[in-house]
């Protein structure tokens, strides 16, 4: 009897380990990259969002818009050489855009060269009708965005329609944008013209582009406090199979060295506004981040 119990216990333990192993392994994609494991997706994504459809009593009726800067790169090569299939997080793109739209602001989308926006479709909340609707509305722009390079070279200095620049998160914000010279010019232009900068989750990584032609002491966001995705949480990614390996570089650490303080320690719903820099910690912050941005932009125009 005891022998049967022990055999059953061992079998249960082996089965449990196999189940844990399978559910925490990142899932391979057709191009040889990996998306998060089933376990990680269950922990970190949801089929719905907390979008609250805030009604803005006095929405903007003029021509002021928001310029959303997205990544056109898909795969992040991790420290171990494996590739993480990423892009921009749909919730971090679309919930803030919903609030901006409801507040009366159009959103124009650009990528570095005008190639299609890469979206983390594995994070799409497929049962959220509001998000699905705004995604359908933006689909044409997502597939055929404007070129940031062209905008900077030919339109930026004469543009008066934009009130803010918005950089959504997803690990894709770390691909190409932090070292992009056109984004460097855009950030400085927006800052010099007293515009708002909106960045959520990994989006603040792209703010590193502002340091390309400056030293630590002249970084335009030196002394700012932000809410952003914590490096410590990124470090846990391989443990649950969210990422197929450790991060190739640590963006929060680089911002810290430039004098930026990240105020949150968890990937939670923290939002923050410091002067005209509005930030949020994670997808959980997207709804509050969108409201904070919408209210700030409307207040600016009063």
What amino acid positions are annotated as catalytic residues? 201
Please provide the distance, in angstroms rounded to a whole number, between the alpha carbons at the two ends of the chain.
80
Closest CA to 212 of 247, 248, 176: 176
Report the DSSP beta bridge partners of residue 68: 109, 166
Query: How far is CA 52 from its chain centroid?
Result: 20
Distances 235 to 29, 75, 166, 257 between C-alpha atoms, Å: 22, 18, 26, 19
Burial class (CB in 10 A: 0-12, 13-18, 19+), 185: buried
Residues 286, 170 contacting (CB under 8 angstroms): no
Give the DSSP H or E segment for 77.
strand 75-77
6-16 residues labelled b (16+ CB within 10 A) or e (exposed): eeeeeeeeeee
Residues 36, 44 contacting (CB under 8 angstroms): yes
Task: Tell me phi and psi for residue 284, to 5 degrees.
Answer: -65, -20
- Tell me how long the chain is: 302
Residue 298 zone, left/alpha/beta (φ > 0; ψ -120 to 50; rest): alpha
Burial class (CB in 10 A: 0-12, 13-18, 19+), 174: buried
Q: Give me 51's structure tokens.
A: 């979008």
């Amino acid at each position: 009897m005891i022998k049967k119990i022990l055999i059953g216990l061992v079998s249960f333990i082996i089965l449990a380990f196999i189940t844990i192993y399978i559910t925490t392994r990142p899932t391979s994609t057709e191009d040889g990259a990996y998306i998060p494991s089933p376990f990680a997706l269950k922990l970190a994504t949801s089929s719905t969002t907390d979008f609250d459809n805030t009604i803005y009593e006095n929405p903007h009726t003029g021509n002021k818009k928001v310029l959303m800067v997205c990544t056109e790169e898909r795969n992040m090569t991790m420290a171990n050489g494996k590739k993480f299939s990423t892009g921009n997080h749909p919730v971090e793109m679309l919930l803030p855009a919903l609030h901006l739209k409801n507040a009366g602001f159009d959103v124009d989308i650009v990528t570095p060269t005008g190639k299609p926006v890469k979206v983390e479709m594995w994070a799409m909340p497929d049962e959220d009708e509001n998000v699905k609707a705004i995604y359908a509305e933006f689909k044409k722009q997502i597939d055929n965005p404007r070129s940031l390079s062209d905008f900077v070279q030919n339109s930026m200095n004469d543009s008066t329609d934009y009130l803010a620049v918005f950089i959504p998160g997803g690990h894709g914000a770390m691909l190409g944008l932090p070292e992009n010279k056109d984004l460097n010019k855009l950030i400085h232009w927006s800052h010099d013209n007293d515009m708002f900068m909106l960045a959520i989750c990994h989006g603040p990584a792209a703010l590193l582009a502002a340091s390309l032609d400056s030293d630590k002491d002249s970084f335009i966001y030196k002394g700012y406090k932000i809410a952003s995705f914590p490096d410590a949480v990124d470090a846990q990614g391989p443990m649950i199979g969210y990422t197929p390996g450790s991060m190739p570089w640590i963006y929060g650490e680089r911002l810290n060295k430039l004098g930026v303080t990240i105020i949150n320690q968890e990937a939670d719903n923290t939002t923050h506004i410091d002067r005209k820099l509005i930030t949020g910690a994670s997808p959980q912050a997207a709804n509050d981040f969108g409201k904070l941005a919408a209210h700030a932009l409307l207040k600016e125009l009063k």
